[in-house]
């Protein structure tokens, strides 16, 4: 499976509220695939859709990822070569002083170094930053930690951004594969804005659901801070919850069924390239919590992320985010499997109830056996 889309998408500059370069990439992606349609709401969220070949009453499967990453937006040049910029997202104060930031001013790239910053009142992390730059930067220019574009090394993928463009790239690979032979159920990809500033795009999509339907089955995609019990290399993670909430058990059960089916297929072929884990990932809150809070059915699939939000805690400095490529490939395979088998989903965990009730019928009589 090619990682071309992963490398391309994770090399595009982005930050909360300035996701326009990602939007342009997605528009070109859809334009090359005639079976895909693209819609958007008044807030700039995107919905890519592939019509299913089966009963139109089947619920739609909506995968969702966000287009932003913690980053900077240039505001104005000051005296003595200083640039004032806003920082959007959550990165601890200890990681700011002296760090390099690359700004993407049209086709021109320039690097500045952080001189000082002002802490925000609500989240207690830097929000206003001053940087020393060698040449003027246009207001509105995107800035990102200067950690390089996407590259592979020893089975890992490194970039200045994996969260959540690596997840979005996996969904694009899925849509590319499905486009060639559409599944029975309609499949869509919702791409949201400003997740790193408090799920702003997802909240907008939930409050005024032009793009979503209450009948949708939603799968939130993330790259989630790795945990000791959910390590890199262990496979894609069926995320049962985050630090705020637990997700829809019905959908989570169905996804787990599909993962187990894929594992059995791989074992028969003596192929160890598909792996999966199932875990609550409390390193942060993801968009599944928002959709759940607003009455949608939502589950989640993620991969473990190293240097979450570019914070290399071992070295206590800014570093590239990284994921395991095997985990990412497994996530794509699971996405495709769930999409292709989505038409078989029935609410109420029917397969589980059939299994436990079969055992119940076998042993029911012992409940009234006095010498059992």
- 112-161 pLDDT tens trace: 999 999 998 888 899 999 999 989 999 999 999 999 999 999 999 999 99
Neighbours of 350 (CB within 10 A): 13
Question: How far apart are alpha carbons 276 and 184 in whole angstroms?
Answer: 25
For residue 268, being part of any structural domain is answered with yes
Question: How far apart are alpha carbons 37 and 20 in whole angstroms?
Answer: 18
Report which of 9, 196, 239, 1 is spatially closest to residue 90, judged by C-alpha positions.
196
Domain boundary among 145, 164, 190: 145
Pair of tokens at residue 267: 């074992």
In this structure, the answer to whether residues 186 and 306 fall within a common structural domain is yes
Instruction: Please report, rounded to a whole number, the percentage of residues in the chain having pLDDT higher than 70.
Output: 100
For residue 28, being part of any structural domain is answered with yes
Does the annotation place 216 within a ligand binding site?
yes
Check if the beta carbon of residue 72 is closer than 8 Å to that of residue 143. yes
What DSSP string describes 80-144? GGEEEEEEES---GGGTTT-EEEEEETTEEEEEEEEEEEE-TTT-SEEEEEEEESS---TT-EEE
For residue 233, being part of any structural domain is answered with yes
Check if the beta carbon of residue 224 is closer than 8 Å to that of residue 237. yes
Q: Which residues contact 72 (CB under 8 A, 6 or more apart)?
A: 15, 85, 86, 87, 88, 101, 103, 129, 142, 143, 144
- Laid out side by side, the sheet with 321-324 consists of 151-153, 156-159, 321-324
Report which of 161, 218, 220 is spatially closest to residue 16, judged by C-alpha positions.
161
pLDDT for 162 equals 98
Catalytic residue positions, numbered: 195
In this structure, the answer to whether residues 106 and 236 fall within a common structural domain is no
Tally of CA atoms within 13 A in the half-sphere of 292 that contains its CB: 22
Q: Which residues contact 32 (CB under 8 A, 6 or more apart)?
A: none
In this structure, the answer to whether residues 60 and 90 fall within a common structural domain is no
Q: What is the pTM of this model?
A: 0.95
Question: How far apart are alpha carbons 165 and 22 in whole angstroms?
Answer: 9
Give 22-31 pLDDT, tens digit per residue: 999 999 999 9
Instruction: Please report, rounded to a whole number, the percentage of residues in the chain having pLDDT higher than 90.
Output: 91
Is the pLDDT score of 349 beyond 80? yes
Pair of tokens at residue 365: 């009589």
Residue 372: pLDDT band with limits 50, 70, 90:
low
Give 168-185 pLDDT, tens digit per residue: 999 999 999 999 999 999
For residue 86, being part of any structural domain is answered with yes
Report which of 198, 125, 109, 123 is spatially closest to residue 160, judged by C-alpha positions.
109
Check if the beta carbon of residue 201 is closer than 8 Å to that of residue 45. yes
In this structure, the answer to whether residues 28 and 57 fall within a common structural domain is yes
Residue 76: give the domain boundaries.
71-145
Does the annotation place 88 within a ligand binding site?
no
Which residue matches tokens 């630090």?
Answer: 243
Give 206-228 pLDDT, tens digit per residue: 998 899 999 999 999 999 999 99
CA distances from 340 to 161, 181, 345 (A): 29, 10, 11
For residue 10, being part of any structural domain is answered with no
In this structure, the answer to whether residues 62 and 183 fall within a common structural domain is yes
In this structure, the answer to whether residues 177 and 43 fall within a common structural domain is yes
In this structure, the answer to whether residues 140 and 62 fall within a common structural domain is no
pLDDT for 271 equals 85
CA distances from 358 to 45, 259, 355 (A): 46, 23, 5
Structural domain total, the chain? 2
CATH number for position 303: 3.40.630.10
In this structure, the answer to whether residues 56 and 86 fall within a common structural domain is no
pLDDT for 123 equals 84
What DSSP string describes 254-302? HHHHHHHHHHHHHHHTT-----EEEEE-TTS--HHHHHHHTT-EEEEEE
For residue 368, being part of any structural domain is answered with no
In this structure, the answer to whether residues 54 and 76 fall within a common structural domain is no
In this structure, the answer to whether residues 25 and 104 fall within a common structural domain is no
Does the annotation place 66 within a ligand binding site?
yes
Q: What is the mean pLDDT of residues 4-14?
A: 98
């Amino acid at each position: 499976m090619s990682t071309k889309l992963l490398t391309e998408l994770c090399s595009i500059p982005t930050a909360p509220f300035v996701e326009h370069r990602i939007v342009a990439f997605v528009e070109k992606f859809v334009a090359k695939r005639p079976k895909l349609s693209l819609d958007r709401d008044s807030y700039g969220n995107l919905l890519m859709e592939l019509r299913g070949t089966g009963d139109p009453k089947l619920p739609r499967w909506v995968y969702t990822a966000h287009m932003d990453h913690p980053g900077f937006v240039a505001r104005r040049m000051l005296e003595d070569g200083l640039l004032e910029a806003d920082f959007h997202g959550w990165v601890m104060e200890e990681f700011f002083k002296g760090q390099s930031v690359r700004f993407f001013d049209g086709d021109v790239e320039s690097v500045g170094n952080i001189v000082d910053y002002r802490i925000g009142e609500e989240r207690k992390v830097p929000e206003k930053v001053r940087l020393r730059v060698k040449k003027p930067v246009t207001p509105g220019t995107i800035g990102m930690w200067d950690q390089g574009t996407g590259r592979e090394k020893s089975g890992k993928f490194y970039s200045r951004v994996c969260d959540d463009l690596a997840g979005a790239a996996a969904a694009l690979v899925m849509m590319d594969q499905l486009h060639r032979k559409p599944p029975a159920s309609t499949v869509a990809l919702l791409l949201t804005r400003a997740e790193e500033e408090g799920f702003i795009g997802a909240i907008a999509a939930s409050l005024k659901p032009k793009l979503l339907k209450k009948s949708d089955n939603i799968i939130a995609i993330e790259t989630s801070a790795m945990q000791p019990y959910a390590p890199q290399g262990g496979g894609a993670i069926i995320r049962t919850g985050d630090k705020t909430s637990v997700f829809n058990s019905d959908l989570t059960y169905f996804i787990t069924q599909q993962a187990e089916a894929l594992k059995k297929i791989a074992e028969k072929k003596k192929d160890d390239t598909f792996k999966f884990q199932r875990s609550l990932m409390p390193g942060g809150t993801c968009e599944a919590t928002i959709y759940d809070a607003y009455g949608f059915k939502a589950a989640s699939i993620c991969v473990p992320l190293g240097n979450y939000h570019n914070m290399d805690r071992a070295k206590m400095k800014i570093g590239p985010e990284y994921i395991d490529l095997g985990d990412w490939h497994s996530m794509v395979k699971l996405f495709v499997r769930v999409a292709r088998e989505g038409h078989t989903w029935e609410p109420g965990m029917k397969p589980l109830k059939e299994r436990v009730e079969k055992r119940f019928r076998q042993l029911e009589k012992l409940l009234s056996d006095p010498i059992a």
